[in-house]
Structure 1
């Protein structure tokens, strides 16, 4: 049977050409599918001062929060996150930087009630924050609400987002 096939036979040549075209097309499609970039997910972080675990509707809270409930049911929930400071501004700095805020000296809220001896109040301008990291990945970044994260303009993280609507005090 092998002897009956020769490279000069028309059926062998047509089959070979057809197979090569099919394999080439399959390879090209695999390359195109492999290079198609998946859409980046939307990232929404709710960071609220003094919000208890059971305060929102989807956690059994008394107040209806249907929009937050919908986001919680249709998205990803991180249920075991804890703040690294008992006051708001340093906690927010920890979230925005991904670091313990005490490591860059931000251990107390800015303002008249600041403990004596607090060495630095604010996120250092050299410290990358979430908006810097996401912006480098092509995201448009927005922050809404209270930032309260520094006493000098260069320390205020709201200047490092594409869009800001809110206030920078406690």
Structure 2
């Protein structure tokens, strides 16, 4: 393998050996930056799939893609946060119906509310303690019947002949 130093295009922007680097879209990333970039790419793909599902369209429109870029760059939103907000507004709260002409303009209005909702949800899940049911083993004995009724009705024939 090559011992040549190559620049990482991730957040670290340091030089690493080429044998350590991994490529995404023709750019080299160190192992730490690669994981971050791969997760970001997966989150973006999940967001586009969610938009396709909610808006019932084959691919997000150019206006939607512009809004996604604007939200991530200017406002610092994450792809996963945008997707969670869309789920919160359209599926959980049902505050509006997805309309293609407005794009994702509802996201900034509900982003903080959705974030708070999911934070409370995870907090409740962590606080909830599920107790395991206690199993008690009982030993059962066959019941002992002390019924003298049958003995009273039996007639001993030998005693009668005496």
Q: Please, what TM-score do these two structures have when normalized by structure 2?
A: 0.26
Of structures 1 and 2, the larger Rg is shown by: 2
TM-score (norm 1): 0.25
Structure whose residues are more often helix by fraction: 2
